[in-house]
Amino acid sequence: MKLKNYALGQWVEGEGQGQELYNAINGEVVALASSKGLDFNEMMNYGRKTGGPVLRKMTFQERGQMIKKLAMHLYGMRKQFYPISAATGATKGDSWIDIDGGIGTLFAYASLRKKFPNESYYVDGETAALSKGNTFVGHHIMVPKQGIAVHINAFNFPIWGMLEKVAVNLLAGVPAIVKPATLTSFVTEAMFKEIIASGILPEGALQLICGSARGILDHVTSQDVVTFTGSATTGRMLKSHPRILEEAVPFNMEADSLNCSVLGEDAIPGTAEFDLFVKEVRKEMTVKCGQKCTAIRRVIVPEHLLEDVQIALGKQLAKTTIGDPSVEGVRMGALAGKVQVKEVHERIQELLKSSEIVYGDLENFNVLGADKQKGAFMSPILLRNDDPFNKTDVHDIEAFGPVSTILPYKNLDEAIELAQMGKGSLVCSIATANPKTAREFVLGAASHHGRILVLNEEASKESTGHGSPMPLLVHGGPGRAGGGEEMGGMRGVEHYMQRCAIQGSPTMLTAVTNQYQYGGKQVEKDVHVFRKHFEDLEVGETVITAKHTVTVADITNFANVSGDHFYAHVDETSLEGTMFEGRVAHGYYILSKAAGLFVDAKKGPVLLNYGIDECRFTKPVYPGTTIGVRFTVKEKIEQEKRDEDDIAKGIVKFLVDVYDETNETVAIATILTMVKKLNQG
């Protein structure tokens, strides 16, 4: 079977014979891959000019709904990809991480749409006051880049690697070209066909290259984004491409790294943490045959527990049955190909110059249900290095397979130093029940790691483990890990957007952002805002309320109702040495009274008030002070109907500006209301 590329809206076979791709279990050819004849420059321009404009016009809510629809579509047919994935040597559990994990990331980013406005852009952060009179202010706005994302992915996760990246660029409004590692691209192509066949994505939103993409970086521009997952050596070569440098193209690199796991000194044999540690190391050595960028390569343990860990790990690894994933009882399949086996063996030989094998054998091991000579099988290999501060190969050489090395430490400072000697990692973990140990280790090691898992008995019931990047947390790391960062919830989306500082009057920036900027023009209408449906409300629309003079009785009554008898509100004799000139009104009374002033009590489109985003009490209010409220529509947020019977509604943020007789603000807050839509369709 010859794989097809998806370019310029069509499925295209590459010219020539193509590269042979093999079944990792039996060595048979499963596909041919070629990209010869593709015009990469034309593909990039097609994405920029065809997919880009459509995606950029869509709002975050529309993009998120599109991603959700795609996730549901793929989830319904996910099982058909498992047999295809098995040809890469993956067990069912391995395939679940790749396939279901990838689809799960789509769902996560689809849900993230709720964090963004129903606009094509995003207003970032808070308004910056740039002048004394507040007639000149600044803000930041983020808009989709007008280029294309080029995703160069690794062979170990042909589905997750694609979906965890495209979920983010699609939500941001940027099209992409996906370049999976050719070795396992037959799995990516199978799912990509279903993505295109679904018709869910606009034309030009995604393209696929199954063969070589050599030369594609010659055509990138400053508006494009390049992401790379793979070896640090290849990543550095691509990152230094002249075009990347000349055009200042954002390049996100996520490289394989020498991740570690640390056993706390308190986690002695017999404790839950010791058992959890051993289980986690065994899992990270054998899941995907250790072919994970997050796998544990260095096992850092107290020197007096070295033998205990070695014995316990050996017993656990001995339970690992190697063979054909389709055979019942097989716990570990094969590496992705014989080339990988050869490379891993070579790295092990380098490590053996300073370490010794304490579990496993490179040649003598049993394989269930398959021919060991035809498949890409190998045994888990556990090494031991007794002098990791002087014999440092273990901190420089990675065997990208089921291989880990045990290293001893004398105290926590040494454990932190050993963790740092990896020169930057995607992830490390520590198993400890001691909060002080956890704090000291995290603060000492965080500078050299993209993520740290603290594992104890309490977290173990729901922990996703050392090796599982989560969509809402950043994935990446410093130094050897590439210095990049992807996913991370909203942070990941921002990588595909341009942040622009905008300056002007509050009224002008209100018009630009569609969010009311404090000090901007306020428009009063004849009809109270609580009498209007969601569609009829305008940003900047304001109710100027009646006024109220605060009395001592107000303060006393509120203290009795609320139970808040704080001395500043009720005891004038206790104010010496404080900032107050006399008894002062409760801040929450001021806010409550403000509500009494701005609320229209009759039944109308406002369904409920469900929260306060921000609230500040900026000036003391004493008896005799007269307050009023400027109640302004600050922002409107679309809300989706949960089902056909749900009420169509939206969220309206109102700015509550409480001021006194000198026109100074005494309290300011943002309240959230749920407002019914006029159109219930």
- Residues carrying an active site annotation: 254, 293
The angle formed by the CA atoms of residues 10, 12 and 18, to the nearest 5 degrees, is: 160
**3-state SS track over 413-461:** HHHHHHHHCCCCECCEEEECCCHHHHHHHHHHHHHHECCEEEECHHHHC
Residue 140, beta-bridge partner list:
124, 501
Phi and psi angles of residue 315, each rounded to the nearest 5 degrees, phi first = -65, -40
Residue 507, token pair as written in the block: 């009224």
Q: Which two tokens stand for residue 483?
A: 């210095």
Using alpha carbons, select from 21, 19, 24 the residue that is nearest to residue 401: 24
Q: Shortest CA distance to 595 belongs to which of 673, 516, 675? A: 673
Q: Which two tokens stand for residue 186?
A: 């037959």
Q: How far apart, in whole angstroms, are the C-alpha atoms of residue 235 and residue 238?
A: 5
The DSSP result for 197-216, as a single string, is HHT-SPTTSEEE--S--TTG
Q: Which residues contact 412 (CB under 8 A, 6 or more apart)?
A: 265, 437, 440, 441, 444
Please say whether the beta carbons of 334 and 24 come within 8 A: yes
* 112 vs 493: CA distance, rounded Å: 10
d(CA 289, CA 628): 68
- SS3 of residue 639 by DSSP: coil
Long-range pairs for 490-493: beta carbons < 8 A, 24 or more residues apart: 490/112, 490/115, 490/116, 492/168, 493/109, 493/112, 493/116, 493/122, 493/168, 493/171, 493/172
Measured from the Cβ of residue 66, the count of other Cβ atoms closer than 10 Å reads 20
Q: What is the 3-state secondary structure (H, E, C) of 289-352?
A: HHCCCCCCCEEEEEHHHHHHHHHHHHHHHCCCCEECCCCCCCCECCCCCHHHHHHHHHHHHHHC
Token representation of residue 469: 């990047």
CA distances from 369 to 23, 94, 288, 295, 394 (A): 15, 18, 18, 26, 34
**380: left (phi > 0), else alpha (psi -120 to 50), else beta?**
beta
- The structure tokens listed for 277 are 């540690």
Taking CA 580 as the corner, what is the angle to CA 574 and CA 582, rounded to the nearest 5 degrees?
A: 70
Residues 6+ apart with CB under 8 A from 273: 263, 264, 266, 267, 431, 432, 433, 455, 456, 457
CA 199 to chain centre: 26
> In whole angstroms, what is the distance from residue 666 CA to residue 619 CA?
4
Can you say whether the dihedral through the CA atoms of 477, 483, 486, 492 is positive or negative?
positive
